[in-house]
Amino acid sequence: MINAEAKPISIFVHGGVLTSISPNSVYKCRDTGNYTTMSDYSRNLKVALNAVGMAKKVSGGFYNSSYGGNEAAYALALCSGVALKWGGDCTECVRKLSISVTIKCLDEKEAVIWGSNCMVRYSDRKIFGVLADWGWNLLPGRDVAADRAGFDKALNQLATTRKQAI
């Protein structure tokens, strides 16, 4: 299930914090099982998402966390170059998307959400260094290339140049 939204909404978050959900987020919930609000997994997920949302040390814009033994939760976040170098707020982006994805994918054990400056993913299984093709999406662009052949040629040249640089 893929969803894109354009309308901002406000929510009341546990602890009395009022926050706004990112209006330009796209998310995907994976139906691998559900959890209850008072379960060990729910508590572990909150801790893991809080850890990636509050991380101050950036490792190339990538954060990861896991918490819990039985019913462990795993979370990761990735911030864009805009959020890291040109005044974007990576920490705030991750925090907002962490809240948003748990509301949008209520009680789902696995989900991913993309915002304009970051992405957040969580699961009940190990996800660090594991390729997951379920979360990939081809999102429609706002503009369509007028010259499709020219676009494909330029894209191939760019890919070749990048491949040679590596």
What's the pLDDT score for residue 144?
64
Q: What does 10-62 look like in DSSP terms, one character per residue?
A: EEEETTTEEEE--TT-EEEEEEEEE--TTSHHHHHHHHHHHHHHH--S-BTTE
Give the side-chain half-sphere CA count within 13 A for 15: 4
What's the pLDDT score for residue 74?
97
- 24 vs 45 pLDDT, higher one: 45
Q: Domains plus CATH for the chain?
A: 2-165 (3.30.430.20)
Between the ranges 4-18, 23-37, 74-88, 150-164, where is the mean pLDDT highest? 23-37
Three-class secondary structure of residue 137 per DSSP: coil
Report the C-alpha gap between 121 and 75 in whole angstroms.
Answer: 6
| 39-43, 47-51, 139-143: least confidently modelled range | 139-143
Q: What is the mean pLDDT of residues 29-33?
A: 90
Among 27, 78, 88, 24, residue whose Cα is nearest residue 53: 78
What's the pLDDT score for residue 141?
60
Q: Are 53 and 98 in contact (CB under 8 A)?
A: yes
